[in-house]
Structure 1
Amino acid sequence: MRVFRALPTAAAILFASATLSASAASATPSASLVGAATPSAAVGSTATARALVPRLAPTPQQVSPGRGTLPVPSTVTVVVGSGADPAARTALTATLRAAGARQVRTVSPARAAPAGALTVYLGGPTENAATAGALAGLHAGGPAGLAAQGYVLASGREHGHGVLALSGVDGAGTFYAVQTLRQLISHHTLPAVTVRDWPAMPIRGTIEGFYGTPWSHADRLDQLDFYGAHKLNTYEYSPKDDPYLRSQWRDEYPDAQLAQLSELVQRAEANHVRFTYALSPGLSVCYSSADDLAKLVAKFEQVYAIGVRSFNIPLDDISYTKWNCDADAQKFGTGAAAAGAAQAYLLNAVNAAFVARHDDVAPLQTVATEYYDVTESPYKKALRDRLDPDVVVMWTGIGVIAHQVTVEQARQAKQVFGHDILLWDNYPVNDYLRGRLEMAPYLHRQAGLAGVLAGDTANPMNQAAASKIALYTVADFCWNDRAYDPQRSWSAGIDEYAGGNHRFAAALRAFADVEYQVPKITGEQAPELSAAIKDFWTAWAAHDAHGIATFEHRVAAFAAAPGVIRQRAEPSFVTETDPWLTSMAAWGQAMTTALDLLHARRAGDTDRAAADRAAIADQVAAATRPVDPIDGKTPVKVGDGVVDQFVTDALGGT
């Protein structure tokens, strides 16, 4: 989706990284990392019990703290049925070992009596018959009646033994129960608790649909691990650099490229992520051509053979005022309505020739050429009237970059397209804003959208690792939109990425704060630093030594932050953000010197003030020199309008 084009030419998200996401199934966040218990939880018996439950992400629907804690012993017995989800079994073993269990002993449900200090029952009603009894013993209901991918996690003591039950509505639910367990364990200890949880959005994830430098294969594998750890269940594969998706869409993949795709599909499956293959034939397809239909179906069959079970035919960023073949003009006529009819004809043909012949394939998706509004049009009417009703239509909200997405807008989209709507949200994508990183939380998306949309897919940045800060908050919103708090989620995501290191978290927060502005969405830049600067000028005017010192300490930390990030962050994050870190460090020096200039001027030290002015000129030049590596020419932006304005004001003697 060509987000850098202006309307109306619509033809036109740390954390779990290679380090953290590779350990997503095994790492055990500390209680200080994940924070306080969710406010949406059912109320526990005491404040002490509530305090034992860390903050969980995404925010669960219901959390009921119990009494006391359970140590994770050196030997843990896991009761698991033959039908247990393989990914959940693998994640559970890794989680227990990371929590201190040296031996994880598995037994069948026939030997389900609690044994030893901790017995774990893994699997929902269709996976493990013994789990229901364990839940009953803990006075917790089962997952019956919960939405797909929901689960129940219950821990406590029964007859003196520690018991833990993880029961999903389905395999994905059981896997997600393990992801919650991973966050609950702190210092080899598990609180007594009951969690009843389910996703608000059926489809939750990302679409790699940006222009410019694509993600590497390693980036994609890492992202899939991150998605599994944060209960995102969809990855739409639509990179603009893959010629076999666009210019060479008729050609089947050579063995090497197919092998990489296969590895992505397998990694997605291991994380309960639906890999959606998005083929974009619109630049050259002849809609009425039986030969083109056959080639499209053959391409789908090729990737079906490696495990793909979800398909998309995006028809965005193409012209619908001209045909690619004379036969289409003869069959459909001309104009927008004819384009809608032709697209419906092709999509329906693929539905019949491919989707209908595979019982395990998800409903076909498409991206409408008019994807950016809810205005009635001949094109939308043709699509609404002719397109098979089970095809899901992607929509970006009002505008290619939507300032907000409301429940009413989503209802209008569903009505005007006449189909289920999957949101393609162009945040935190930055291909249209060269020079910027987008590291603000997910903002201005209304609670209640889960009741209208089929799902929500976010279009990330070219910078995969840096996208995780925003994608953490996207995952939080999609799972439980009614409990979503953007700032709380943003803080928790930064803390998680920092792995409990407070200095690293503070440095990362300072960096994300000056990479906060999305002109069409957030409308503000560096909100925390901006507020601190305002307080400083008040303190400076009042000769408030404490207020001045507080800001000077903040500026010192700001200047040091890039160095801390370079030392602590995953290598891919540092590589991606290097120009911005370089600029931030130089701006930090300029702010530090600007403060010295203010003190020199107040003290009447003209020589020192002159030296400071000269130093600031060099420091500002260094700060504005780094360029966005994607285009190699656009200067990077770090707190623009805030940091530079502070320096300007100091030079001017404000």
Structure 2
Amino acid sequence: MNKSDMPALGIIEGFFGRSWSWADRESYANFLAPNEFNFYIYAPKDDIYLRKHWQQDWPSETKQQLSRLRNVYREAQIDFGIGLSPHEIYLDRSPERYAQLITRVKQINELSPDILCLLFDDMRGDIPNLANLQIDYMHRVAEVSTAKRIIFCPTYYSFDPVLEKVFGKVPDNYWQDLNKNIDKNIDIFWTGEKVCSAEYSVNHLNSVEALLGRKPFLWDNYPVNDSAAKSNILQLRAVNQSHSQIQQNVSGHALNPMNQAWLSQIPLASLTRAYREKNNYAPEKTFTEITDALCGENLAQTLLQDLSLLQDKGLAKMSVEEKTELLKRYSAFPQNPFCAEIIDWLNGGYTFDPACLT
């Protein structure tokens, strides 16, 4: 497949809990470009100025950091995006709310993002005519935004029943209204058959395309590990075989990484290989080659040896002896950022805090 035939491939920093440092975010420009990714979207759940306090501009220091980050990605020729989540704005449809939203988009325009996402995930959804209320906001945002690509995230971004359990029953004709009324130039995020889908089938993606009236833009919740259960594991394996077969069925593909920025590079780097190699893609071989390239042969061998313990058994089920042995093993690689994150994780530095969800 020629690079020009690839859908947009990138990452969205869109997880709960402990977020990345500014230095880690900047370093990702040097990781994404050589691995054939073409976008990065800034949307950490702990940025209150994108979520609960979305009406307010960032403090000057944060906005300076974002401006610098945007310039780093521009120099690397990687598209830079922002994800805005105006929390349950549709519960208050006053003129003031509309004005606040337009003002906020103009503030975001000052950063000259290439991509702007309007995200209605993780919000109450059992509201009549929800789709058209959200579309109205989406179209107003699109009119004002200077971004070249606009992506909409619906409240119901999967058929996974857990969404109705948490956010209420999906309104009648929700997806059909999105198909009929949202501008066809606007992409729509979709996570697959589940919120955290293990794989993607062509048949499923074709059915979603018919439902939404456009190819879905995948928000892939792998290797993210920000939940109570998944914070106990490090998702290091390469993406599975199904990712190599869906090039023609998506408009884009964004991976949501782990809270551990450096370790995330291992699974993330496998996505573009899956798209490029198609039927020749071999996940286990890819994992070995990526860890060799990123971590060096010795550490790569150690990670391969411990992969089942780190990703399958996980921290909560480890014995004291297993944890002690792992700490000893990875302490043998001093000042190594990959090992530093493993050690921090083993010592409870990434323990899930339910407060992060609010």
Query: Where on the TM-score scale, by shorter chain, does this alignment land: which range?
Result: 0.7 to 0.9
- Are 2:139 and 1:371 aligned? no
Structure 2 counterpart of 1:313, which letter?
L
- Are 2:55 and 1:250 aligned? yes
For residues 40-189 of structure 1, the aligned pairs below 5 Å read 61=1
Cα distance in 1 between the residues matched to 2:242 and 2:41:
21
Contact persistence 1:507–1:561 (CA under 8 A): no
Q: Write the deviation string for residues 421-453 of structure 1: whole angstroms up to 9, x where unpaired.
A: 110011001112131111111114243311110
Cα distance in 2 between the residues matched to 1:518 and 1:411:
35
Q: Write the deviation string for residues 568-615 of structure 1: whole angstroms up to 9, x where unpaired.
A: 3654333321156x6xxxxxxxxxxxxxxxxxxxxxxxxxxxxxxxxx
> Judging changes above 3 Å, is the alpha-carbon distance between structure 1 residues 297 and 402 closer, same or farther for their aligned structure 2 residues?
same
Contact persistence 1:364–1:391 (CA under 8 A): yes
> Judging changes above 3 Å, is the alpha-carbon distance between structure 1 residues 254 and 629 closer, same or farther for their aligned structure 2 residues?
closer
TM-superposed deviation, 1:343: 0.7
Indicate which of 258, 264, 272 corresponds to 1:467.
264
TM-superposed deviation, 1:215: 1.0
Structure 1 runs not aligned, ≥5 long: 1-60, 62-196, 323-334, 520-524, 526-557, 583-625, 634-654
Q: Write the deviation string for residues 357-387 of structure 1: whole angstroms up to 9, x where unpaired.
A: x4xx323111111101299951111211111
Cα distance in 2 between the residues matched to 1:320 and 1:293:
19
Cα distance in 2 between the residues matched to 1:321 and 1:258:
35
Structure 1 counterpart of 2:130, which letter?
A
Corresponding residue for 1:159? none
Contact persistence 1:440–1:517 (CA under 8 A): no
Indicate which of 208, 218, 230 corresponds to 1:413.
208
TM-superposed deviation, 1:306: 2.5
Corresponding residue for 2:82? 277
Structure 2 counterpart of 1:385, which letter?
K
Q: How large is the RMSD of aligned CA atoms in angstroms?
A: 2.8
Contact persistence 1:208–1:238 (CA under 8 A): yes
Indicate which of 323, 327, 331 corresponds to 1:566.
331
TM-superposed deviation, 1:280: 0.1
> Judging changes above 3 Å, is the alpha-carbon distance between structure 1 residues 569 and 428 closer, same or farther for their aligned structure 2 residues?
farther
TM-superposed deviation, 1:632: 7.5
Structure 2 counterpart of 1:202, which letter?
P
- Are 2:55 and 1:264 aligned? no
Corresponding residue for 1:319? 124
Q: Give the match's secondary structure for 1:445.
A: helix
Corresponding residue for 1:203? 8
Indicate which of 141, 151, 155 corresponds to 1:350.
141
Contact persistence 2:241–2:283 (CA under 8 A): no
Q: Give the match's secondary structure for 1:514.
A: helix
Structure 2 counterpart of 1:304, which letter?
N
- Are 2:190 and 1:395 aligned? yes
Question: Larger deviation: 565-574 or 502-511?
Answer: 565-574
Q: Give the match's secondary structure for 1:516.
A: helix
Contact persistence 1:469–1:493 (CA under 8 A): yes
Corresponding residue for 2:218? 423
- Percent identity (aligned): 24
Cα distance in 1 between the residues matched to 2:109 and 2:275:
28
Cα distance in 2 between the residues matched to 1:560 and 1:246:
41
Contact persistence 1:402–1:426 (CA under 8 A): yes
TM-superposed deviation, 1:299: 2.1
> Judging changes above 3 Å, is the alpha-carbon distance between structure 1 residues 481 and 303 closer, same or farther for their aligned structure 2 residues?
farther
Corresponding residue for 1:229? 34
Indicate which of 231, 240, 248 corresponds to 2:45.
240
Contact persistence 1:286–1:292 (CA under 8 A): no
Cα distance in 2 between the residues matched to 1:461 and 1:429:
4
Cα distance in 1 between the residues matched to 2:155 and 2:123:
7
> Judging changes above 3 Å, is the alpha-carbon distance between structure 1 residues 200 and 438 closer, same or farther for their aligned structure 2 residues?
farther
Q: Give the match's secondary structure for 1:245.
A: coil
Contact persistence 2:57–2:104 (CA under 8 A): yes
Cα distance in 2 between the residues matched to 1:451 and 1:287:
40
Corresponding residue for 2:164? none
Cα distance in 2 between the residues matched to 1:446 and 1:463:
22
Contact persistence 1:374–1:409 (CA under 8 A): no
Q: Write the deviation string for residues 63-88 of structure 1: whole angstroms up to 9, x where unpaired.
A: xxxxxxxxxxxxxxxxxxxxxxxxxx
For residues 430-449 of structure 1, the aligned pairs below 5 Å read 430-432=225-227, 433-449=230-246
TM-score using structure 1 length: 0.48
Q: Which has the larger radius of gyration?
A: 1
TM-superposed deviation, 1:259: 0.3
Corresponding residue for 2:101? 296
Cα distance in 1 between the residues matched to 2:23 and 2:140:
36
Cα distance in 2 between the residues matched to 1:288 and 1:477:
44
- Aligned pairs, how many? 336
> Judging changes above 3 Å, is the alpha-carbon distance between structure 1 residues 216 and 437 closer, same or farther for their aligned structure 2 residues?
same
Cα distance in 1 between the residues matched to 2:255 and 2:275:
10
Contact persistence 2:219–2:254 (CA under 8 A): yes
> Judging changes above 3 Å, is the alpha-carbon distance between structure 1 residues 347 and 247 closer, same or farther for their aligned structure 2 residues?
same
Question: Larger deviation: 301-310 or 417-426?
Answer: 301-310
Cα distance in 2 between the residues matched to 1:481 and 1:215:
31
Cα distance in 2 between the residues matched to 1:518 and 1:263:
40
- Structure with the greater relative contact order (CA < 8 A, sep ≥ 6): 1 or 2? 2
Q: Write the deviation string for residues 86-143 of structure 1: whole angstroms up to 9, x where unpaired.
A: xxxxxxxxxxxxxxxxxxxxxxxxxxxxxxxxxxxxxxxxxxxxxxxxxxxxxxxxxx
Cα distance in 1 between the residues matched to 2:106 and 2:242:
37
